[in-house]
Amino acid sequence: MPLVPKEVYEELKDYCSRLAQRGYVTAHGGNASIKAGNLMWITRHASSLEKLRFEDVIQVYLDKPSSFDALSSTETIVHRQIYLETPNLAVLHAHPPNSVALSFFMNEIIPLDTEGYYVLRKIPVVEGSPGSLELAKNVAEALKTHYAVVVRGHGVFSAAKYMDTAYQYLCMVEHSAKIIILTKNLEKAGFKFIQPKKF
Amino acid sequence: MYGWNGKILVVDLSNKTLKTLTINENVLSEYMGGRGFGVKFLWELTNPTIDAYSADNVLVFAVGPLTSTLIPTTGRFTVTAKSPLTGGIFYSSCGGFFGFKLKNSGLDALVIKGRCEKPVYLQIDDETFQLKDATHLWGKTTKETIKILEEDLGKDYSFACIGPAGENLVRFACIRGGDGNFAGRGGLGAVMGSKKLKAIAVKGTRKTKIADEKSLTELMKKIRVRISWNPVLSKALAYYGTSALVNIINEHEILPTKNFQLSRFKDAEKISGEALREKIFVGRKSCYNCPVACKRVVKLENMKVEGPEFETLGSFGSMLMVNSLEAIVEINQLCNELGLDTISTGGTIACAMELSEKNVLDEKIGWGDVEKIKKLIVDIAYRKGLGDKLAEGSKIFSERIGFSDVSMQVKGLELPMYHPDGVLGQALAYTTSNRGGCHLNAYLISVEILGYPYLMDRFSPVNKPNIVAYLQNLAAVMDSMVICKFLGFEFDEETFAKLLVAVTGKPYTQESVVAAGERIWNLERVFNFKAGLKGEEDKLPSRFKVDVKPMLKEYYEVRGWKPDGFPSKNKLKNLGLKVEEDAVGSQGSL
Ligand code: SF4
């Protein structure tokens, strides 16, 4: 196998395991990648992010396909497009439940919580079937101007220069989605919504 | 009747009779078609101890209930006979359009018995069947044969034919099923040659009747989406064809090199899918109704042809130390026209090269000598000089000169392009395959290398016997329905049962589908035992370091077989193999 640097594997393993611990991915869902020059190291198709093994990280090219695309995540095409169209160096994709649930009702998610609002401002909701060029283009386009994007009924992509920042964005999207759902439920239960005076 | 036509054509070449028979409903449900029909009919009609070239051998060309429907990859057919290479039962699956047309002619199978004095071909046109003189075709290559038949009969027909290798009874001669499609392995082309049956031409206008069109349409939508999601099907196979495997397999250090003496080829990149795509690729082709379209069209200065597949890139590339893609294309084309299986041809020449290096042979055959390889291929097909000896296959050839350890085969079938030392499950699959050294009876590479449906530890024996048995049963079902094995990268018995219910209206379940595969597998095993391929033949060549014995013992237990490797009475009874149990009993094996 084309040699994957040990530190790349360690970093991917760390953040993949955090996503799994938070319940943002199911047994074999989600994927993550790191870019370096013309290469991308991405998690294997159907690998378990809970317990990423060294052989679960696959090296593929950014500017051309390779036979190793057969081994890499179904969403390799999306990661590749993000790197080609944005200056990001790390991409995460997970299926956090609140964000996915909200995506069925909204075309964009505007966080109610302060942190979410100030950092993310707006999270676009896009469409496209898994692994398709259409999805890749929609996600990459959204990530040109946003830190994260939700794919309707599917999951969240976040991208940044550092893996830790991408992880932070993804967690914030899910946190903001959870706040919205909780708030709507409280409103439904008869509580009155009070807008913070300073936001 | 839905799914099936319920009819077979029985051709007796010895007395030139052709008659149609109705197939029993239970046989349809339990054996489905394709490979299942192959073993069922062979078991009913032949004595497994016969010589593969005797008039008593039976060739079964069969399609399945799913053939010629809107389900992807359903234009295929299988051929089954006793193999002159392994001495056991042997089926081979072939893509293209021949299966589609055979089904549309109103038949589910052709059963060909006996032997002609003079060459003939069989013409099938819906309800009309006739044997025709093929003297003018005898001696022609597969390409010439198809061209002449197309000119004589028209382009509405699909053809299956043999080349000079089949006529000359080369033990690994193949059957060409149209353009770039072959029933490649096991020497079934030589069985056709022994019967003096040069070709079969078929056309038909019927449509397969579907029990539940609405359910099938719904299923089809999901199937197409899932194919498009699957990276192997929609990306690798679509973009590179099977040649995508060259770099992957080499990087895992399991690409057989220099007759399996090595497992990594330093020039793999030069013969890889990437190189093929960049240098000589001009287009894709597909079998009937297949969105994957894994076939490559390549162009050299003087030819535009199909292929080569991964197995051919390995067997004439790394195995023989040839690093020219163009040379492999030419060699592949030569084999295709002469009607030779590329894996066995490459494996047998590799064996000869190693013996030549050891100074065992008078003739010098250097590694990578392309001109020598081409000459040997022609000599094999026409049985000239050393080629005549190699035409027996590497097992017989090497045994005759006292160097059997140089033949890389199991049960006489040359091994495909995955070095077993680095993939324990695949090693067990080779060892136990009813075909011999074959990857298609259980493709463990999918779970041990590619990670479909998930990645298992390739160096660990844990759970491999279970997985091998399961995948063997599933492969038997796929070959009997009849669909392309590549769909196995995404689908399993859950989808297969739904498809069978929608098409046939019969109450298939996941369990009954796997049980059908198990029944077919066990009947093949029984046939092989009776033919002389007993438990002792479940072994790898001594060159390999992998120790399959512990896995083999567990595998027999998983299968419900006795310690000698024969199915237990209980197992046969549970699978409903009652008649077969009696027959086997009469042979004294039970
Ligand atoms: S996947 Fe390839 S071999 Fe299989 S049916 Fe399709 S084109 Fe033919």
Is domain B237-414 classified as CATH 2.60.40.10?
no
**Could A66 and B247 be called an inter-chain contact, meaning their C-beta atoms sit closer than 8 Å?**
yes
Residue having the nearest C-alpha atom to atom 2 of ligand 1: B294
**Sequence spans of domains, chain B:** 7-203, 237-414, 421-574
Select from B68, B70, B73 the residue to mutate for testing ligand 1; criterion: most ligand atoms less than 8 Å from CB.
B73
- Using the Cβ of B294 and the Cβ atoms of chain A, whether some distance falls under 8 Å is answered with no
Residue-wise pLDDT for B148-166, tens only, equals 999 999 999 999 999 999 9
Of B252, B453, B454, the CB nearest to A1: B252
pLDDT at B583 over 60: no
Q: What is the pLDDT of residue A149?
A: 98
Residue having the nearest C-alpha atom to atom 8 of ligand 1: B287
Residue-wise pLDDT for B430-458, tens only, equals 999 999 999 999 999 999 999 999 999 99
pLDDT at A54 over 50: yes
Residue B214 CB: number of other CB atoms within 10 A?
Answer: 9
Cα(B500)–Cα(A88) distance, rounded to whole angstroms?
48
| CATH code for the part of the protein at B7-203 | 3.60.9.10
Q: Is B73 in the pocket of ligand 1 (CB under 6 A)?
A: yes
Q: What is the pLDDT of residue B127?
A: 79
Q: What is the pLDDT of residue B586?
A: 31
What CATH architecture does domain B421-574 belong to? Answer: Orthogonal Bundle (1.10)
B276 contacts: CB under 8 Å, gap ≥ 6: B240, B241, B243, B296, B298, B313, B325
Q: What is the pLDDT of residue B589?
A: 27
Structure tokens at B190: 């030589």
* pTM of the predicted structure, to 2 decimals: 0.94
What is the ipTM score, two decimals?
Answer: 0.87
The distance of B309 to chain A (nearest Cα, Å) reads 14
Q: Is B34 in the pocket of ligand 1 (CB under 6 A)?
A: no
Rg (CA), chain B: 22
Cα(B410)–Cα(B160) distance, rounded to whole angstroms?
28
- Domains B237-414 and B421-574 alike in fold: no
Residue-wise pLDDT for B476-504, tens only, equals 999 999 999 999 999 999 999 999 999 99
Distance, C-alpha B264 to centroid of its chain: 26
Residue B590 pLDDT grade (very low, low, confident, very high; cuts 50, 70, 90): very low
What are chain A's domains?
A: 6-188 (3.40.225.10)
Residue-wise pLDDT for B308-334, tens only, equals 999 999 999 999 999 999 999 999 999
Structure tokens at B67: 């053939």
Residues of A in contact with B245 (CB under 8 A): 67
Q: What is the pLDDT of residue B585?
A: 32
Q: What is the pLDDT of residue A29?
A: 93
- What does residue B534 show for φ and ψ, rounded to 5 degrees? -95, -175
Structure tokens at B94: 């072939």
**Could A72 and B231 be called an inter-chain contact, meaning their C-beta atoms sit closer than 8 Å?**
yes
Closest CA to A62 of A37, A92, A87, A31: A37
- Closest B-chain CA to A47: B454
Q: What is the pLDDT of residue B198?
A: 98
Cα(B435)–Cα(A130) distance, rounded to whole angstroms?
38
B188 contacts: CB under 8 Å, gap ≥ 6: B59, B79, B80, B81, B83, B90, B92, B173, B174, B175
Residue B180 pLDDT grade (very low, low, confident, very high; cuts 50, 70, 90): confident
**Could B455 and A28 be called an inter-chain contact, meaning their C-beta atoms sit closer than 8 Å?**
no
